[in-house]
Amino acid sequence: METVKTLKLRIKDKHAKAMLAMARDVNMVWNFANETQYRSLNRYCDRPKTWLSAYDMQKLTAGFVKCEGVVVGAQTVQETCEEFVTRLKHAKKQKLSWRVSNRKSPKYSLGWVPFKKGALKYKDGQIRFNGLNIGLWDSYGLSKYELRAGSFNEDSRGRWYVNVAVKVDVEEKRIPDGSASIGIDLGLKTMATYSDGGSFNPTRWYRASEQKLGIAQRANKKKRVKAIHAKIANQRKDAIHRETSALVKKHAAIFVGNVNAQALAKTSMAKSVHDAAWSMFRNQLKYKAIRHQVIFEEVNEAFSTQTCSSCGALPDSRPKGIAGLGIRDWTCIDCGAVHDRDVNAARNILARGHARLAGGILGSRAREDVKRPSDAINETGEQK
C-alpha cells in the first residue's frame, strides 16, 4: 500500500544560470506547441482542422534536441508537450498564454522545467538531472525516497526549487494489534463515538453560546451576532483539529461510517448535523491520515447500530426504526452482551474496516493521486 507526496527542496543558487537556460528551452517548446496547435485550427485550406494530441506534439518536437540546440533533454521536451496538451484541454481554449523568457518583461514567466519519472537521480547529497549535478538543501533526506516525476521551479526572487513526487510506503507502519486501529460512529447526540468506548463532542460550545446568540439576535445586534458566530466556528474548528491530530497520532488505521450528512441535514435534525460538523471532522482525518501514512477508510455503516458487535447477530432486542432512536443501551438476547448503542456501532464499523483490509480492497483506494508536476504543492499544502 502506498501513497504519494510532493517534496519541495531549495536548489543552490549557483545553478540558477543552468536552470534558466533549461527554462528557456521549455518555453520555446511550449510556444512552438501553442503556435502549431493554433495554426492547425485556423488554417485557410481544405485540410481538416485538428486538435493535436500529446503524441502528435512529441513527434513534431522530436528533433528539437538535435536541431534547435535544445539542451534540456528529450524527456523534458516530451513532458512539456504533455503538459501543454493537458492544460489546453482544461482551459477549453484554442490557445494558451505564451511563456516569456525575457526576465525584463513584465510578462516574464517564472522558470519551469518539468521532468518525468526516472529523470532525476539522487546521489551523495546531489541530484543528477540531464547531465548536471545539482546541489541542494536536502531537508527531507532524499536518499530514503524513490523519486518520481516533478518539476524545477523558480520563485519571484529568482530562487530555484525542485518539486518532486515521492512514494511513501504505508506498509512501514503496520497495525501492531487491534488497539492500534479504531472505528468511529458519527452521531447526532454525540458527534463521534469510538470503538474503544471514548467519544468526542464539541457541540457543547454551541449550546453554551446559543443563549448569548439568542439575546443578541433579539436585540438585533448584528455585529455581536456575527462575532458570536465567528467565535463558535473557531472554537469548533480548533477542537476538531486537536481531536483529529490526536486520533491520527494514536492509530495506524481509522475507519469511519459513511453517514451522509447532507441527507440528514434535510431532516429536523438539521441543526445538530450542521453543528456537529461531520464533514470537517472526516476531511481532516482523511488528509492527516494521508500525511502520516495512516490508513483511513469510510465503511458502509448500514445496520451497524442494529448488529450485535459481540456475536454478529441481528437480535430481536436490537434498537430498530424510529422507536429505536431513543434507546441508548440494549442487551443482545442471543449472546447476552450489554451494549452502549453508539460504542456498539463503532465496533461494527471497526470490524468491517478490518474485514476490508484483510480482503485487500484498501490497497488501491488509500492512494492519493499524483499532482501534475507544474501544480506541485509542497507538504504544507502551500501553492508554489
Task: Kindly state the smallest distance separating residue 183's Cβ from Zn ion, in Å.
Answer: 17
List the beta bridge partners of residue 181.
253
> Can you give the length of the chain in residues?
384
Q: Which of 308/350 has CB closer to Zn ion? A: 308
Q: Which of 68/334 has CB closer to Zn ion? A: 334
334 binds Zn ion (CB under 5 A): yes
Q: Which of 80/304 has CB closer to Zn ion? A: 304
Burial class from Cβ neighbours inside 10 Å (0-12, 13-18, 19+) for residue 156 reads: exposed
Residue range at the interface with Zn ion (CB under 5 A); choices 152-160, 250-258, 273-281, 324-332: 324-332
Name, in order, each residue with C-beta under 8 angstroms of 27's C-beta and a sequence gap of 6 or more: 99, 100, 101, 109
Tell which one of 113, 332, 351, 357 touches Zn ion (CB under 5 A).
332
Residue range at the interface with Zn ion (CB under 5 A); choices 39-47, 114-122, 221-229, 329-337: 329-337
Q: Which of 65/337 has CB closer to Zn ion? A: 337
Nearest to 256 by CA among 338, 327, 185, 322: 185
Task: Kindly state the smallest distance separating residue 258's Cβ from Zn ion, in Å.
Answer: 24
C-alpha cell at 296: 483511513
- For 130: left if phi > 0, alpha if psi spans -120 to 50, otherwise beta; the answer is left
Q: Which of 282/339 has CB closer to Zn ion? A: 339
Q: Which of 126/310 has CB closer to Zn ion? A: 310
Helices 222-250 and 204-218: crossing angle in degrees, nearest 10, is 170
317 binds Zn ion (CB under 5 A): no
Residue range at the interface with Zn ion (CB under 5 A); choices 11-19, 130-138, 286-294, 332-340: 332-340
**DSSP β-ladder status, 199-200 and 329-331:** unpaired
DSSP string, 19-37: HHHHHHHHHHHHHHHHHHH
DSSP string, 262-300: HHHHTSTTHHHHHHHTHHHHHHHHHHHHHHTT-EEEEE-
Tell which one of 335, 338, 355, 361 touches Zn ion (CB under 5 A).
335
Task: Kindly state the smallest distance separating residue 259's Cβ from Zn ion, in Å.
Answer: 23
Site for Zn ion in 146-165 (CB under 5 A): none
Q: Which of 319/373 has CB closer to Zn ion? A: 319
List the beta bridge partners of residue 186.
192
Long-range contacts at 38-41 (CB < 8 A, ≥ 24 apart): 38/94, 38/95, 41/94
308 binds Zn ion (CB under 5 A): yes
Please tell me the count of residues contacting Zn ion according to CB under 5 A. Answer: 8
Which residue in this structure is represented by grid cell 464539541? 202
Q: Which of 250/328 has CB closer to Zn ion? A: 328
Spatial separation of the C-alpha atoms in residues 267 and 286, rounded to whole Å: 26
36 binds Zn ion (CB under 5 A): no
Task: Kindly state the smallest distance separating residue 306's Cβ from Zn ion, in Å.
Answer: 11
56 binds Zn ion (CB under 5 A): no
Tell which one of 94, 209, 235, 310 touches Zn ion (CB under 5 A).
310
Spatial separation of the C-alpha atoms in residues 326 and 332, rounded to whole Å: 17
Task: Kindly state the smallest distance separating residue 337's Cβ from Zn ion, in Å.
Answer: 5
Instruction: State the residues that interact with Zn ion by CB under 5 A.
Output: 308, 310-311, 313, 332, 334-335, 337
